[in-house]
Chain A
């Protein structure tokens, strides 16, 4: 390699490094801008009311206070909303089990009507909620399930896409392992519980995290189904605070924080699963 070429390569490498640094800087600024609303929410939640509506605004709280979080759980009913939200999430986990079972049957059993039923599963993935919203409400109303936590969770309890994902993953489980368990005298449900589910941990983890996020954030069904304040979830309680904006942004931001921080925590701890799950949605 001649010296001049070496010099050229080196200057190319240097130019490339400068470019990467510039791109990194631009992306860093973009990331800060994207994350800024969260920063603003967190800092405002700790500001006294007067400071939050002060003009010009302060970047960090000058006299940090916890009073809004106390207000949420004492004067307002956010404790109850929190319990309801957790209940909706837990019901969602029960739905997850049903979807895992269905995915297993589609993956590992031959049965009459399988293709047709699986086609139904795929078809439901294409139906927008706006079409089913009113009839679903009427159906739940007919079943006397409006104003119940089960009614809130039921419309989104199973999704075609999750069944599809379970099926795809469980197809890769070797049939010999199931046969071996059956030869050992294990019943079908025991085989499912003790062999299939443990082997499906990767997809199960992804789905558990996604179920938590969607249950925690769900808004439309709690809004439609729960007219009794006792059954409000955090999202509905929060939406009602909307009217307070002119009066007390600190209180609102504290409430938004209560809703957002658990999701951020789940994201930070289970980032790999969350990202994997959303990347899988690219399969749809």
Chain B
């Protein structure tokens, strides 16, 4: 009898926490999204009323919500290829020689991935500063006039995304380098004996063999962009004029600045659905691809 309880003793503390903070919240979000719950609920739960799908209809008529979805889509559209291509290119180049110098360089590319975003955003904010920032100074040296990195709506999108690209490539470089270890050396040697150039072997042998890694990185990068939050939160707070308000920033503001818990929960359920659908589509493309 005692023995049969033992595995449960081992799993239950972690499982309880996982259920409490991983599973239950989704159910709670789904329930709250059908109510008008806001900060007044803390004073008296009778202030919470069932409103059906009102939050969802309101959401779909909210231009701010659509702007945030549009921004998020735009970030993903440009950000995913940028991160995947840069990290693939850097990983291939880093892998082109086993010299210790190449090994040592890896650390430089990787470090942005593990440093605190808040600290990093402050540093970039300083670089972007229009009065005394370094970037504008460098541009002025080649005769380019002042650039409004974070206060021009179109440019702010780029500036914020640039920080995310800078931070996002390191992790993917590591994943690609790990995948490159799995490319059989014999294939490459055989190709080079046949007189194929190194560019040719890269494109005809290495990259096709990296297909799974490329696919994996594309999915995780897409999801990361759909959840894009930290960089715009610290650098622009979603501004100017909502130009860098991602879906996550929108939800945060509705939920924690305006305390519209019901409304924000409806938004988070919609975001969850979007992420799930896109992931499923990507998985489907992948399995269709496998049939060849």
Residue from the list A31, A57, A136, A158 in contact with B14, Cβ < 8 A: A158
Residue of A nearest to B223 (CB): A128
Within 8 A of B (CB), among A258-280: 259-260, 263-264, 267-268, 271, 274-275, 278-279
A121 to chain B, nearest CB (A): 7
Are A245 and B220 CB-contacts (below 8 A) given A28-B105, A41-B123, A238-B118? no
Cβ of B59: which chain A residues have Cβ within 8 Å of it?
A: none
Chain A residues in 8 Å Cβ range of B125:
242, 245
B129 at the interface (CB under 8 A from A): yes
Known contacts A267-B111, A282-B178, A282-B179; is-contact A131 B26 (Cβ 8 Å): yes
In chain B, residues 211-235, which have Cβ atoms closer than 8 Å to a Cβ of chain A?
A: 213, 216, 220, 223, 226-227, 229-230, 234
Task: Please give the distance in Å from B58's CB to the nearest CB on chain A.
Answer: 16
CB distance from A255 to the nearest CB of B (A): 8
The smallest C-beta distance from B121 to any residue of chain A, in angstroms, reads 8
Bound Cα distance from A120 to B19, whole angstroms = 8
Q: What's the Cα separation between A130 and B251 when bound, in Å?
A: 8
Q: Could you say which of B23, B132, B247, B276 contacts A130, with CB atoms under 8 Å apart?
A: B247
Closest A residue to B178 using CB positions: A279
Smallest CB–CB gap between A20 and chain B, Å? 5
Interface bits B5-32 vs A (CB < 8 Å: 1, else 0): 0111111011101111111111011001
Once the chains bind, are A54 and B119 in contact (CB under 8 Å)?
no
> Which stretch (B49-57, B75-83, B266-274, B284-292) binds chain A?
B266-274
CB-CB < 8 A to A120: which residues of B? 15, 18-19, 23
The size bracket of the interface on B is 35 or more
Name the residue among B20, B94, B265, B279 with the largest chain A CB count within 10 angstroms: B20
Question: Does A78 belong to the interface (CB within 8 Å)?
Answer: no
Is the CB of A44 closer than 8 A to any CB of chain B? yes
Contacts of B23 in A (CB 8 A): 120, 123-124
* Chain B neighbourhood of A76, CB < 8 A: none
Set of chain A residues within 8 Å of B26, measured between Cβ atoms: 127, 131-132, 135
A137 contacts which chain B residues (CB < 8 A)?
255-256
The reply to whether A24 and B99 contact each other, CB–CB distance below 8 Å, is yes
Cross-chain contact A256 with B119 (CB below 8 angstroms): yes
Contact of A160 (CB < 8 Å), options: B18, B96, B247:
B18
A133 and B268 contact, Cβ closer than 8 Å, known pairs A117-B11, A121-B18: yes
Cβ–Cβ < 8 Å partners of A117 in chain B:
11, 15
Whether B17 pairs with A154 at a CB distance below 8 angstroms is yes
Closest CB-CB distance, B170 to chain A, in whole Å?
8
Known: A120-B18, A129-B227, A130-B271. A136 touches B7 (CB 8 A): no
Enumerate A80-97 residues with CB–CB distance to B below 8 Å: 95
Taking Cβ atoms with an 8 Å cutoff, the residues of A that contact B are: 16, 19-20, 23-24, 26-28, 30-32, 34-35, 37-38, 40-41, 44, 52-57, 95, 98-99, 101-102, 104-106, 109-111, 114, 117, 120-121, 123-124, 126-139, 141, 154-158, 160, 163, 188, 192, 213, 216-217, 219-220, 224, 234-235, 238-239, 241-242, 245-246, 249, 252-253, 255-257, 259-260, 263-264, 267-268, 271, 274-275, 278-279, 281-282, 284
Closest 3 CB pairs of A and B: A124-B22, A31-B108, A135-B28
A-B contact pairs, 19 of them (CB 8 A): A16-B198, A37-B123, A55-B137, A102-B10, A105-B8, A111-B4, A126-B279, A130-B227, A130-B271, A131-B269, A135-B28, A138-B28, A155-B21, A188-B9, A235-B119, A263-B115, A264-B111, A267-B110, A279-B178
- Interfacial residues, chain B to chain A (CB-CB below 8 A): 4, 6-11, 13-15, 17-26, 28-29, 32, 42, 90, 93-94, 96-97, 99, 101-102, 105-120, 122-127, 129, 131-132, 134, 137, 166, 171, 174-175, 177-179, 198, 213, 216, 220, 223, 226-227, 229-230, 234, 247-248, 251-252, 255-256, 261, 264-265, 268-269, 271-272, 275-276, 279
